[in-house]
Amino acid sequence: MKKAIFKITAASILLAALDQLSKVWAIRNIDHIFNNGVAFGIAIPKILLIGSTIALLIGFTIVAFREFKITGRLAQIAMSLIIAGGFSNLLDRFTYGAVVDFINIKIWPIFNIADVYIIVGVVLIVAFYERLMRNPKRSS
């Protein structure tokens, strides 16, 4: 269990650091926006946004540790991606007052690498839910 926690923590820190570096690069080199809201730029008061992000990260982590087989590689990857993405976007809110978005594929609102981490982590959980569960329910 301690080894799994270490792996998740180390991977989350590394992924968040890579995302932060990508945002520094974007600010210096390419067109970017500072998104004050949430997904698709939906406006929410800053204090509520920061508080809910922290609560969601803590809540997700608690539920994941209770429900998932965290010694499994897939659970570690999914958890690391979601934690890193959420934490990195939270760091943006403290550093810049908004999230730095810079990936523009024209058919979708502008986003960042942390957003990709979160989406991929969630997709992994949804796609492999039974495999991730500590005590999956067996259907006859």
CA distance 56 to 62: 10
Catalytic-labelled residue, pool 19, 31, 92, 115: 115
Number of H helices, E strands in the chain: 5, 2
d(CA 39, CA 89): 12
8 Å CB contact between 103 and 33: no
Q: Is 72 helix (H, G, I), strand (E, B) or coil?
A: coil
Q: Which helix (H) or strand (E) holds 100?
A: strand 99-101
Where do we find the tokens 């659970």? 75
User: Nearest-CA neighbor of 83 among 60, 113, 116?
Assistant: 60
Q: Which of 19, 31, 92, 101 is catalytic?
A: 101
Active site residue 115: yes
Instruction: Confirm whether 31 is a catalytic residue.
Output: no
For the annotated catalytic residues, the residue numbers are 101, 115
